[in-house]
Chain A
Amino acid sequence: MLSRTASNLFWLGRHMERAETASRLFEVGARITLLPNTAEGYQNEWQSLLRATGVSDRFAARYDEVSEENMEKFMIFDRDNPSSVASCMHDARESGRIVRTALTSRVWDALNVSWQEMRGMEPGQEDAADLADFVARHAATVHGAIDGTQLRNDGFHFMKLGYALERADSTARVLDVKYFVLLPRVEFVGSGLDSYQWQVILRALSAHRAFHWAYGDDVSAGRVAHFLILNDESPRSLMTSVLEALSHLDALVRRYGQDVPHSARDRAQALADRLGSTDIEDIFDEGLHEFLSDFIREIGDIANRVQADYFHGRG
């Protein structure tokens, strides 16, 4: 398969997943600001969210005031923000258009429709939860079309690999928001506020029901973290995402043979092994933020290796 085609398929997956992340993060922000608040006001939470996702400078350059209204524009609609929902959906659709012939018509239809509908929307019409639903629904349609209709060839694996790596990255970032939000207020750890914030995180990942099935209603930091990091039944956990990425990388190695470089697979295998031998106490001892930062770097490294192994074409 042409390297560029593979790269476009990979990024199609990443951008669709990233669009969903942006809307989830926005929803987290909106929910956290619904809390009875401290004197500092809600602006602080939005700031934390911007910092956690590494886009505060970009925001500051374009908007005067940190408000929900501006955050909605920035995170959902702003085409100058490459991580906004609109940008990601556009980019996913554009990748799809470039490799149109590698997609089934169902996948293309779903991509096309999601972008057309997104383009028809305007800021201020929907609340955060509805926006997140809207995006999740379209993302699910595209994903479903891929799973249901695409041939299981290398192109399929590149797409799914994009999804898996992006999901690993995004779950880590959403978790990290909690760290940034809580950082100035260690005294809240274990309080009702703390528990509420963890619940918000779970909701943002559409994982609150699953969590309650698995752990009952004791929403403690340790349990939520375990659920979102190490539990391989949790659909968005870091563990699940890494194992999924690994399975597609394995499939590529089987398909291409050992002569084609596979440093990304080896690295993903090492990461999966490491997660498998870690328990949640180790993570808290190391520091959740440090652990997550390290994990995000690892995922970045695997993505770079995918690029070097497959997208460069070695010329």
Chain B
Amino acid sequence: MYYNEMLDGTKVREAYAGLSDWVDQMPAEIRQMKQAEAEALFRRIGITFAVYGEGGDPDRLIPFDMMPRIFTQSEWRRLERGIKQRARALNAFLRDVYGRGEIVRAGRIPARLVYQNDAYEKAVVGFVPPRGVYSHIIGIDLVRTGRDEFFVLEDNCRTPSGVSYMLENREIMMRMFPELFRGNRIEPVDGYPDLLRRTLETVAPAKCQGRPRVVILTPGHFNSAYYEHSFLANLMGVELVEGADLFVEGEFVYMRTTEGPKRVDVIYRRLDDAFIDPLTFRRDSMLGVPGLMDVYRSGGVSICSAPGAGVADDKAIYTFVPEMVRFYLGEEPILKNVDTWTLWKDDDFKYVMDNLGDLVVKEVHGSGGYGMLVGPRSTKAEIEEFRQRIKANPSNYIAQPTLSLSTCPTFVNEGVAPRHVDLRPFCLCGERIELVPGGLTRVALKEGSLVVNSSQGGGVKDTWVLSE
């Protein structure tokens, strides 16, 4: 059965000890009132998923569940060690494959998966960014299946989003239920923006003088994550720029201000590789900065994450991350991978075809919960339809066992009920590797559903780490 994070049979587990009374004592009317209040707060702050120009409700909210998800200090410490270890290995891998490629030479990862990967960027080969860090913000998606069993579902090394929810969820919980936070039992997460800024400042190029100027580069206000970009810029106290706000001159990048050009040292870009520089990547990109890559490679500016960092978080590369931990760090991985069958291998293909009804199948480059099959929750017809798609292009898919995702108590119409959850903590890599105690918990609000993506009916929760 599923691991229930609050209840062990009928006994309340340690982490939730303080919370179960709170839940029991809250009358239904109060709960509904609070829920409406939370929604109004979100709307007021402006945290919506507006996708302008694409129709739909421009002010859609991701449902927020007021019931927090809780980890004890010791649970968190183990997770933290595992996440940092993984982040170190991923950056070591990037440094290696944009350098000599030792892991490939050693035969530990097939060359094809690295060098023929769409995300591999030859324009970065031979370049080592400051402190050897290629991916500065790594979002690691975790699921839990038992008391001590955590699995990594995927790594996000490019520009993982969702951190604004981690911060807003906490903010709203503190505003609505200050009594829960008295006694200082819950580790704060609101240091994240400062920590992010400091982390980015530590990877400024050597040519930078004085305090580095950090900016966030956004594709613009039509982007669905624009809110997060502007939210972070505001909390970090840095400018939110678009490509046209920046220009290259001589050896540096400058931003256009009312007082003339100002040099920029570190660019936290929330823009895909293909768009950041029309001279090197897509020529038709109007979102980027011409000449940016040349300045980057000659050490005039830092780009976070480095172009090409995506080669480390590809679903095909994912299966090799435990191998990276062993190869680069000489350690055993603390966090496990989910068993993965890669469909371009004949044996794996046969196994998957024979067991399609029990497996989860994903597209290698898919995201957002689209283009996937959850075998046990699909009809025969859906499975057969998917089987044909796999046969047409096997190397586009991977398969995993259907995991028994843990559940957390969640407010539903009938009261409180268990719903499946995952977790995305955000690991920051600069001079040091750091992690704020918390993350984004996503919850599948539909009963029995294992898909937590917001596009598929998922919601979010505040995530607590208890201090000792």
Binding site for B on A (CB under 8 A): 1-6, 94, 97-98, 100-101, 105, 108, 154, 158, 252, 256, 260, 310-315
B230: chain A residues within 8 A (beta carbon): 100-101
In whole angstroms, what is the CA distance A154 to B258 when docked? 9
16 A-B contacts, Cβ less than 8 Å apart?
Answer: A1-B258, A1-B259, A2-B239, A2-B241, A2-B257, A2-B258, A3-B257, A4-B241, A4-B242, A101-B233, A105-B44, A108-B46, A312-B256, A313-B257, A314-B261, A315-B247
> Residue of B at shortest CB range from A154?
B258
Closest chain-A Cβ to B256's Cβ sits at a distance in Å of 2
Partner of A4, one of B233, B256, B259, B260: B256
Cβ-defined partner of A256 (8 Å) among B242, B244, B258: B258
Q: Would you call B260 and A313 a contact (CB within 8 A)? A: yes
Query: B232-253 toward A: CB 8 Å interface, digit per residue (1/0)?
Result: 0110000111101101010000
B258 touches A6 (CB 8 A): yes
**Could you tell me if A313 and B240 are in contact, using CB atoms closer than 8 angstroms?**
no
Q: Are A313 and B255 in contact (CB under 8 A)?
A: yes
Of A101, A108, A311, the contact of B240 (CB 8 Å cutoff): A101
* Chain A residues with CB below 8 A from B234, complex form: 101
Q: Which A residues are in CB contact (< 8 Å) with B240?
A: 2, 101
C-beta contact mask, B256-282 vs A, less than 8 Å → 1, else 0?
111111000000000000000000000
C-alpha spacing A3/B247, complex, angstroms: 13
Complex: A22 Cα to B69 Cα, angstroms: 53
Contacts of B260 in A (CB 8 A): 260, 313-314
Chain B 191-233, CB-CB to A under 8 Å as 1, else 0, gives 0000000000000000000000000000001000000001001
Determine whether the beta carbon of A310 is less than 8 Å from that of B233: no
Contacting pair A260 B259 (CB below 8 A): yes
Residue of A nearest to B245 (CB): A4
Distance from A246 Cβ to chain B, minimum over Cβ atoms (Å): 18
**Which residues of A have CB within 8 Å of B258?**
1-3, 6, 154, 158, 252, 256, 260, 310-311, 313
Contacts A101-B230, A101-B233, A101-B240 given; does A2 touch B256 at CB 8 Å? yes
B254 within 8 A of A: yes
Taking CB as reference atom, which chain B residue is nearest A4?
B245
Q: Please tell me the size bucket of the interface on B.
A: 20 to 34
Q: Could you say which of A3, A105, A310 contacts B245, with CB atoms under 8 Å apart?
A: A3
Question: Given that A2-B241, A2-B257, A260-B258 are contacting pairs, would A315 and B249 also be in contact in the complex, using a CB cutoff of 8 Å?
Answer: yes
A94 proximity list for chain B (CB < 8 A): 221
> In the complex, A94→B258 CA distance in Å?
21
Q: Tell whether, in the assembled complex, residue B256 and residue A314 are in contact, meaning their CB atoms are under 8 Å apart.
A: yes
Taking A4-B241, A97-B221, A315-B256 as known contacts, 15 extra A-B pairs with beta carbons closer than 8 A to each other, sorted by chain A number, are A2-B241, A2-B255, A3-B245, A4-B242, A6-B258, A98-B221, A100-B230, A260-B260, A310-B258, A313-B256, A313-B257, A314-B256, A315-B249, A315-B254, A315-B261
Q: CB-CB < 8 A to B244: which residues of A?
A: 4
Q: Which residue of B lies closest to A105 (CB)?
A: B44
Whole-angstrom distance between the Cβ of B278 and the nearest chain A Cβ: 16
Measured in the bound complex, the distance between the Cα atoms of B255 and A1 in whole Å is 10
B-side contacts of A2, CB under 8 Å: 239-241, 245, 255-258
Instruction: Report B47 CB to chain A, min CB distance, Å.
Output: 11
A195 CA to B389 CA, complexed, in Å: 79
Please indicate the chain A residues that have their CB under 8 angstroms from the CB of B44 in the complex: 105
Residue with the greatest number of chain B CB neighbours at <10 A, chosen from A6, A97, A105, A313: A313
A311 CA to B457 CA, complexed, in Å: 43
- From residue A257, how far is it (CB to closest CB) to chain B in Å? 8
Nearest CB of chain A from residue B260's CB, rounded to whole Å: 5
Give the residues in chain B near A98, CB-CB below 8 Å. 221
* Most-contacted residue by chain A among B230, B240, B245, B256 (CB, 10 A): B256
Q: 4 closest pairs, A vs B, by CB?
A: A313-B256, A315-B247, A101-B234, A3-B256
In the complex, which residue of chain A has the Cβ closest to the Cβ of B247? Answer: A315
CB-nearest residue of chain B to A315: B247
> Which residues of the other chain, B, contact A252 by a CB distance below 8 angstroms?
258
Chain B residue numbers with a CB within 8 Å of A313 are 245, 247, 254-258, 260-261
* B239 partner residues in chain A, CB cutoff 8 A: 2, 5
* Chain B 12-50 interface 0/1 with A at a Cβ cutoff of 8 Å (1 = within): 000000000000000000000000000000001010000
Please report the C-alpha to C-alpha distance between residue A98 and residue B233 in the assembled complex, in whole angstroms.
12
Closest chain A CB from B162 CB (angstroms):
19
Contacts of A310 in B (CB 8 A): 258
CA distance A1 to B244 in the complex (A): 15
Expressed in whole angstroms, the Cα–Cα distance for A154 and B44 within the complex equals 26
Give the chain B neighbours of A315 by CB distance below 8 A.
247, 249, 254, 256, 261
Residues in A neighbouring B257, C-beta threshold 8 A = 1-3, 313
**A263 to B173 Cα, complex, angstroms:** 51
Instruction: With both chains docked as a complex, state the minimum distance between the C-beta of B233 and any C-beta of chain A, in angstroms.
Output: 7
- Residues on the A chain within 8 Å of B247, using CB: 313, 315
How many Å from the CB of B251 to the closest CB on chain A? 14
The reply to whether A256 and B221 contact each other, CB–CB distance below 8 Å, is no
For A6, A97, A108, the residue with the greatest tally of chain B CB atoms inside 10 Å of its CB is: A97
